[in-house]
Amino acid sequence: MIAPGLLVILSPLLIGFFFGPKVLAGFLPGAIVSGVMMATSAANTGGAWDNAKKYIESGALVDENGNKIGKGSDVHKAAVVGDTVGDPLKDTSGPSLNILMKIMAIISLIFGSKMAQFHPVQ
């Protein structure tokens, strides 16, 4: 977790100090938009895998012959594997991206005046 944390903290600092506040002002919206898309996708994907397992466990899934597919079947075992992947996506990965976007914006605001001293706006 050190590398992702450093990426979030150092990205705005390096971009702001090396390239200036205008480049940072373009970087932040791109990071926010891509972060929102990734968070939404992660949350929806995790929820879909969780709901698929619940749907199979409810006995509502039937095969082409009309037989109910439930717990203990190969389909259920595959859904359990999917749910194992989906739970961290919907519970941790998706929501944590919101915090990362906020940290990038806050770091930019805190160090914005120092960045402007290195790159005066013309």
The tens digit of pLDDT for each residue in 75-105 reads 889 988 988 888 888 888 777 888 888 999 9
pLDDT at 122 over 70: no
Asked if pLDDT for residue 121 goes beyond 70, the answer is no
Q: Give the tens place of pLDDT for each residue, 41-57.
A: 888 888 888 888 888 88
Check residues 12 and 92 and name the one with the higher pLDDT. 12
Cα gap 22→43, rounded to integer Å: 32
Better-scored residue on pLDDT, 108 or 73: 108
